[in-house]
Amino acid sequence: MPAGDSRRRGVRLPPFQMLLDDHAEVVLRFLVARVGHVDAEDCFQETFLAALRAYPRLRDAANLRGWLLTIARNKVADAHRAAQRRPMLSDELDTAVAAPQEPADGELWDAVRGLPAKQRSAVALRFAEDRTYDDIARTMETTPEAARRNVHEGIKKLRRGQR
Amino acid sequence: MSANRAIRNTAPPRLPDVIAGFRRRAEADGLLEIAYTAMDSPIGPLLLAATEAGLVAVAFNGKHDDTLNELAARLSPRILEAPGRLVAVRRELDAYFEGKLHDFSVPLD
């Protein structure tokens, strides 16, 4: 079996199962908030398969949750690109009509999905993950100020939409 | 569940199902390099670990995390809890502890 490059560089990687134990729930919640219930499962599996594939070559094990969420964010972008190419299915039309039956929490996340991409990511990371602005900034490859602004603008839009 | 919800298929995905699906796909893609499971035995809890080639570790000191960390460093960190690969080993160990088996036939890596 090939030993990972990481070993030679002295990085101690925990067994991958620990990443599932510690972060799978957060990643799934993030994905549900970003792509909805139906696509979240596939995005989750794509995320963890990509992570498992790259894992032995990982050079820094200090922020594994941030690393997983960065991969998840890329999978969300892939899913959105795929959805744009896909014709709208009839049950998705039903979804649009049937929306008022959703419980309050789900309704809110539907509204979050309607936000512009950066605000959507920032709001999901802040409130589904309870992450700090510094942490969000790292995941989104931006500054903490910009992360705070995106959350703030996103919340403002959601408040307007709720009334 | 109301009719509306059934039509919309909005049941949230359950974490254990989603993880099981990931594990199946990881194994199908050849990414599950080390599978492990824990089992009870007359000499205490055992940890069993196997590559695709065969059994690589049986730990009975109770320090399962240490054993897994050592396997991660020595062989590969692509380690998942996946009892499926260890069904045959478990069966032989159960038979051994019942005194019905003296020679093991499961492959070793």
CATH numeric code, B3-97: 3.30.160.70
Number of DSSP helices (H) and strands (E) in chain B, helices first: 4, 4
| pLDDT computed for residue A97 by the predictor | 44
Q: Where are the domains of chain B?
A: 3-97
Domains annotated on chain A, with CATH: 12-86 (1.10.1740.10), 101-163 (1.10.10.10)
| pLDDT computed for residue A99 by the predictor | 43
Question: Which tokens sit at B30?
Answer: 């050849």
Distance CA B59, CA B46 (A): 6
| pLDDT computed for residue A18 by the predictor | 97
Size of interface A-B (CB pairs under 8 A): 101
Average pLDDT over residues B50-55: 95
Inspect the interface and report whether the beta carbons of B81 and A17 lie closer than 8 Å: yes
Q: Are B41 and B93 in contact (CB under 8 A)?
A: yes
Distance CA B66, CA A99 (A): 50
pTM summary value: 0.68
| Start-to-end CA span in chain A (Å) | 59
Q: Are A47 and A26 in contact (CB under 8 A)?
A: no
| pLDDT computed for residue A134 by the predictor | 81
SS3 state at B42: coil
Q: Are B47 and B36 in contact (CB under 8 A)?
A: yes
How does residue A88 score in pLDDT terms, banded at 50, 70 and 90? low
**CB hemisphere CA count around A5 (13 angstroms):** 7
Residue A55: list chain B partners with CB under 8 A: 77-78
Question: Which tokens sit at A104?
Answer: 């309050």
ipTM of the complex: 0.87
CA distance to partner chain A, nearest, from residue B32 (Å) = 9
Could you report the per-residue pLDDT of B25-35, keeping only the tens digit for each? 999 999 999 99
- Chain B contact for A103, CB < 8 A? no
Query: For B31, phi and psi rounded to 5 degrees?
Result: -100, -5
Question: Which tokens sit at B100?
Answer: 């019905």
Chain B residue with Cα closest to A38: B10
The pLDDT mean for chain A works out to 80
